[in-house]
Copies of this chain bind each other. A is one copy, B any other.
Amino acid sequence: MRPKDLDKEKAIRTMALQIIAEEGLENLSMQKLAKAANISPRTIYIKYENKEDLLIKLFVEEVLGAYEQATLKDFRETMDFETGVKKIWLNLFAYCKTNKEAFVLMQYGKSSPLLNKAFQEKNITEGQFFAPIHRFLKRHAKNGTIKSFPIAVHRALLFSPILDLVNEYFEHKDRPRQIVTEKVILECCDMVIKGMLL
Contact = CB atoms under 8 A, between A and B. Distances in A.
A195 interface: yes
A112 B153 contact: no
Interface stretch (A56-64, A126-134, A137-145, A156-164): A156-164
A83 to B, nearest CB: 17
A150 interface: yes
* Stoichiometry (number of copies): 2
A53 B191 CA distance: 41
A144 to B, nearest CB: 15
A152 B26 CA distance: 26
Interface residues of A, number: 41
Nearest to A110: B167
A156 B152 contact: no
A70 interface: no
A41 to B, nearest CB: 20
A147 interface: yes
Interface in A10-57: 23-27
Interface of A: 23-27, 107-108, 110-114, 147, 149-150, 152-153, 155-157, 159-161, 163-165, 167-168, 171-172, 179-180, 184, 187-188, 191-196
